[in-house]
Structure 1
């Protein structure tokens, strides 16, 4: 087995892995798509099983654009959920000492708390 035979085998292995990855990605997209009803999903799955390469090419041509939009929407939703989680864990900045003193000063000005309660809140915020 020569060097070129080795390269040819590597090319075939690469192509097989790429084909398997495309089929897996298409199946994932079929079942994640909420716009397709059950019969349409079953039809695509049967088409992909009976004629895999033709079915994959037709699916990518017919639904490739919406496939990218769905993936982008899922990525955006995941990023938003991550940002919301980080904000909930880290706090939104309103728990800083200056913000707490300002809130307590507003309560003092409105007469909701007394001067001694304000001093206690201020000491607690600073500590």
Structure 2
């Protein structure tokens, strides 16, 4: 029975092991992002989605490569649109929870931005805020 000690594993071997683990995780993240993108695309019909899924699952490396080449730009645009929609939903939720008229909330947000940029002083901010709230 052979004993393996920590110093029997060369540093280069450890480096390559870590590199392969990193590449494997990176591959899984890319694969799942593509699968999510296939389902997120509203312009594609069900048959096209099924075709892309089969292509990506049966021949994963070629399927992912072809998908990124053919639809990579739209994939980024869909990601940006999704993030923008989430931000708008969050802003609408905050306005709804904050209560009061939405225009007052918008005015307060703009005032806060002006104060943070340094365009108005704290005193000017307080006066404008009091005027909006009362």
TM-score (norm. length: structure 2) = 0.68
Shift of 1:81: 1.0
The 1:8–1:100 alpha-carbon spacing in structure 2 relative to 1, beyond 3 Å, is closer
In structure 2, the partner of 1:49 is: 57
In structure 2, the partner of 1:13 is: 21
The unaligned stretches of length 5 or more in structure 1 are 102-127
Shift of 1:97: 7.6
1:1-127 mapped onto 2 (5 Å cutoff): 1-90=9-98, 91=100, 92=102, 93=104
Shift of 1:25: 0.6
Shift of 1:39: 0.7
**CA–CA separation in structure 2 for the residues paired with 1:54 and 1:46:** 12
**CA–CA separation in structure 2 for the residues paired with 1:97 and 1:9:** 62
Give the 3-state SS of the residue equivalent to 1:34 in structure 2. coil
The structure with more radius of gyration: 1
Shift of 1:99: 5.8
Give the 3-state SS of the residue equivalent to 2:13 in structure 1. helix
Shift of 1:70: 0.7
**CA–CA separation in structure 2 for the residues paired with 1:24 and 1:100:** 48
In structure 1, the partner of 2:4 is: none
The unaligned stretches of length 5 or more in structure 2 are 1-8, 106-128
Superposed CA RMSD: 1.9
**CA–CA separation in structure 2 for the residues paired with 1:83 and 1:65:** 27
- Large movers: runs of 4+ above 6 Å: none
Q: How many residues align?
A: 100
Shift of 1:15: 0.6
**CA–CA separation in structure 1 for the residues paired with 2:131 and 2:43:** 49
